Amino acid sequence: MAKPTLSSADASRISKQTSLPVRVIKRLHKEFTALSSSSDGVVCVRDFSELADSPSPSLMYHVICQFNESAGKEASSDAVVEFEDLLLATHKLTHINPEERFKAVFGMWDMDKDGMLNRGELYYLLRVWSSEALSDQDVWGQADVLLERYSEGEGDRRGLTMEQATALLLS
């Protein structure tokens, strides 16, 4: 079964919402559907995990749910994202002020929504953002050092608040 195509009307509508040229939208759609392992043209957790070489399917599930929430959709157990939802969420994220953008990104990494990045969440953040080929032990060590220096709380409740994460990034 062939993957779905993007109609000219849909491309024009998305162009009006994002200010991207129709030709760019069509090219992005072609690349997006090439990532999809299914015939329906959506990208699932496995597709994203393979693309991003993600250390955790649960992290990719969480990120996909964030894109769906941004599009006004509830998270589903199958965790798929459609082209238009991904494009509109990305457009929205790039067209807000830096403080709001940081809040949105912080919210993506705060998987348990407790307002803090705990050790595990910080590990995933460091693993994805690390440009070096670090061992898991090294990344866990970096997470521990950051928490020791900048965090509040003790034991399992230790984590970085958004304010602390902002201060850390600006230091």
* Contact between 106 and 162 (Cβ < 8 Å): yes
Task: With a cut of 90, say whether residue 168 has pLDDT above it.
Answer: no
What average pLDDT does the segment 163-170 reach?
Answer: 80
pLDDT at 54 > cutoff 70: no
Name, in order, each residue with C-beta under 8 angstroms of 24's C-beta and a sequence gap of 6 or more.
Answer: none
Which of these, 118, 39, 102, 108, lies nearest to 75 by C-alpha position? Answer: 108
Contact 161, 152 (CB under 8 A): yes
Q: What integer pLDDT is reported at residue 17 of this predicted model?
A: 92
Q: Which CATH code is given to the segment(s) 111-170?
A: 1.10.238
User: What does the pLDDT look like over 115-166, one tens digit per residue?
Assistant: 999 998 888 888 777 767 788 899 899 889 988 888 866 665 678 998 888 8
Range(s) within the chain of domains with CATH label 1.10.238.10: 14-94
Query: pLDDT at position 108, please?
Result: 81
pTM over 0.85: no
What homologous superfamily is domain 14-94 in, according to CATH?
EF-hand (1.10.238.10)
Q: Which pLDDT band, with edges at 50, 70 and 90, does 50 fall under?
A: confident
- Residues 6+ positions from 120 with CB-CB distance below 8 Å: none
Q: Say what the pLDDT of residue 64 is.
A: 75
CB 93 within 8 A of CB 138: no
Q: What is the pLDDT of residue 55?
A: 53
Q: What is the pLDDT of residues 60-119, one digit of tens each?
A: 677 777 766 665 666 555 678 888 888 888 888 788 888 887 888 888 888 888 899 999
